[in-house]
Amino acid sequence: MTVVADKPELLTEAFQNIQSDVDSAFDAFLPVPQDSRARLVEAMRYAAIGAGKRVRPLLVVATADLFGVNRSAAVNAGCAVEAIHAYSLIHDDLPCMDDDELRHGKPTVHRAFDEATAVLAGDCLHALAFDILTQPDTSTDPFVRAELVGALAKASGHDGMAGGQMMDIVAGEQDYDLRQVTRLQQLKTGALLAASVEMGAVLGRVPPEGRTQLRAYARDIGLSFQIADDLLDVEGDEGKAGKALRKDEAQGKATFVTLMGVDAARRQAGMLVEQAADHLASHGDDARLLIELARFIVKRDH
């Protein structure tokens, strides 16, 4: 067991800082053009600025911090992951996908703008992610830039996030067992969380053979994140969540909660978080932010 003490105030401050830094960075990346693309960029800004907890950027920054990486470089890489996350939410919310009306407590992009603009704004945030990663501000070392792009492209495509989303779409027609639900979630949610940690390590010039413990941490928090999401879907408050809940049950989808029950799911999530913390033992007190973040992931109410 890790000996690092609970320090929730550390996490609160870290969230405030990353939310402010990510918002400022997107504001700078996305000036509104003086032509008929204005509506498109406004939609990108609506989705990317002032929304979301910024768990993924914080993972990038907190991992990069272990290795003394320049903060603005890590914030840039965090924005790239967040741009991918934001595009995926826009597309997942579309009428032909989950048909959601609310996200982060405000109308979804296709409701606030229109469907065509939502599709394009998602596509443009997708491209922006890779544009950001190839800027010298993110890293002056092209090897690092290329490795960041590779990690993010792999984690977001058909062998990652979007592949998991496809498995989720057909979940209602299929009787997934615990192994298949775990696989689905490793792709849909876990891949991008793992990429966040990986990219922090890439920025820190940690060679692949030195990333074993960080990857184990990322795998455990990815799974506990999704178990916590499934618990929130059953027990959460729609007002706090800022989106519709209890959709899995209505669609007859297997989740960790339907397969394991509420109590076992909660125990499993708690166990995974402590296991995640143990993987970082060699970093001692330096890892306290990553450990607080892991604990937050299962305790959060939204």
Per CB under 8 A, 150 contacts a copy of itself: yes
- Show the site string, 85-114: x = touches a copy of itself by CB under 8 A, - = not: --xx--x--x-xx----------------x
Per CB under 8 A, 117 contacts a copy of itself: yes
Per CB under 8 A, 67 contacts a copy of itself: no
Per CB under 8 A, 166 contacts a copy of itself: yes
* CB of 34 or CB of 282, closer to a copy of itself: 34
Per CB under 8 A, 115 contacts a copy of itself: yes
Per CB under 8 A, 154 contacts a copy of itself: yes
Tell the smallest beta-carbon distance from residue 53 to a copy of itself (Å): 23
Q: Which stretch binds a copy of itself (CB under 8 A): 16-24, 139-147, 236-244, 246-254?
A: 139-147
CA atoms of 195 and 152, how far apart (whole Å): 6
- Show the site string, 33-52: x = touches a copy of itself by CB under 8 A, - = not: x-xxx-xxx--x--------
CA distances to 83, 89, 179, 200 from 197, in Å: 16, 20, 24, 5
Assigned token pair, 110: 């296709």
Per CB under 8 A, 130 contacts a copy of itself: yes
Q: 60, 78 in Cβ contact below 8 A?
A: yes
Q: 256, 224 in Cβ contact below 8 A?
A: no
User: What is the Cα Rg of the chain in Å?
Assistant: 18
Q: 228, 262 in Cβ contact below 8 A?
A: no
Per CB under 8 A, 260 contacts a copy of itself: no
Q: If you ran DSSP here, which 8-state letter would residue 300 be given?
A: -
CA atoms of 126 and 88, how far apart (whole Å): 8
Per CB under 8 A, 185 contacts a copy of itself: no
Which residue, among 90, 78, 80, 268, has the nearest Cα to 165 in the 3D structure?
Answer: 90
* CB of 14 or CB of 149, closer to a copy of itself: 149
